[in-house]
Amino acid sequence: MNDRIAGIDVFVEAAEAGSFSAAAERLVLTRSAVAKTVARLEKRLGTRLFHRTTRKQLLTEQGQLFYASCRRAIEEIKAGQAQLESGRKEVSGRLRVSVPVLFGRICVAPVLLEMARAHPGLQLDISFSDRVVDLAADGFDLAIRNGPLGDSGDLIARRLVRQRMTLCASPDYLARHGAPSSLDDLERHEAVVYARPSKRVRSWLFPQSSGEVREVEPRSRLRFDDLEAIVNAAMAGHGIAWLPCWLIHEGVRSGRLVRVLDQQPGMLFDCHAVWLREVGTSPRIRVAVDALLDSLPEVMQ
């Protein structure tokens, strides 16, 4: 076992320092000693971990994957040591979480911040991005994902909550154009819609009593790839918008938005927490997922 883990601490330091020279200074070793240790590790693993230049050592693709695994293992060891030293059953160590930008800021981050307050030994890193991250390569312990999950046997997934979509518009818009009384009425209304550049407008979806889902393609002049911009345009009276309920709560409470066709059942989209199967459910992941399960439904009502 000692042979299998030899040199990993040096490798991690070199990856984080960005060069063998900087790593040598941190470890109080010579640059040659660092380079030889990494070379022995590469030989043992049968793969190159660094692209070497005269000034920097950049991780290869395999090096990035190996670094993420080593980093997680080191954090687990640190967390175990902290628990033994403190003599408490407090959750500690570093938890890196990837969340969607807007949903993460409004719904997820407040819950995780309260969770962190209850566990002073926990180091919480939250990254806000709508990109679907690779947990292993990007070094994340946990990710929050909205919508359908792709097939991946490498991940454990836990459904946290279901997001309901709803139609809304400003009182001013409805006073000028009238409120639709059915889905068919939407064809005569202006809409503010979600669309990514060079892609078609995303259809509005409505579940029917038959079990089928009806698609409505709204008429629109205003198209955004940002949900918050759609909310602002709807509040300014530019048309009807189809948005998640959690995003329009404040607008409805303030009277700047009104729900439209509220008797129509809203489409539901799942929100999941996902983490690597090979890592298992660590205490840090468990306490975060439990907090989200307890609080997200209330946050999103």
pLDDT at 83 exceeding the cut of 90: no
Bigger pLDDT: 210 vs 98:
98
pLDDT at 160 exceeding the cut of 80: yes
Bigger pLDDT: 287 vs 89:
287
CA 264 remoteness from chain centre:
30
Encoding tokens for residue 251?
């607008």
Locate the domains of the chain by residue range: 2-59, 87-154+277-299, 163-268
User: Which among 100, 174, 204 is positioned nearest to 144, based on CA atoms?
Assistant: 100
Name the pLDDT band for 82 (thresholds 50, 70, 90). Answer: low
pLDDT at 219 exceeding the cut of 80: yes
Distance CA 156, CA 61 (A): 24
- Fold match between 87-154+277-299 and 163-268? yes
pLDDT of res. 87: 46
> Could you count the other beta carbons within 10 Å of the beta carbon of residue 91?
23
pLDDT at 84 exceeding the cut of 80: no
The helix (H) or strand (E) run that includes residue 235 is helix 227-235
pLDDT of res. 196: 81
Average pLDDT over residues 215-221: 88
> According to the CATH classification, is domain 2-59 in 3.10.105.10?
no
Residues 181-213: tens digit of each pLDDT? 999 999 889 999 998 877 778 889 999 888 888
pLDDT of res. 79: 66
| Identity of residue 300 | M
Name the region of 265 (left: φ>0; alpha: ψ -120 to 50; beta: rest).
beta
> What value does the mean pLDDT of the chain take?
87
Residues 100-121: tens digit of each pLDDT? 999 999 999 999 999 999 999 8
Distance CA 193, CA 282 (A): 40
Name the pLDDT band for 92 (thresholds 50, 70, 90). Answer: confident
Residues 233-291: tens digit of each pLDDT? 999 999 999 999 999 999 999 999 999 998 888 899 999 999 988 777 788 999 999 99
Residue 234 in 3-state DSSP? helix
Average pLDDT over residues 71-85: 68
pLDDT at 153 exceeding the cut of 90: no
Encoding tokens for residue 180?
């639709």
Class of domain 163-268: alpha beta
CA dihedral for 199, 228, 161, 269, sign (positive or negative):
negative
Could you say which architecture CATH assigns to the domain 87-154+277-299? 3-Layer(aba) Sandwich (3.40)
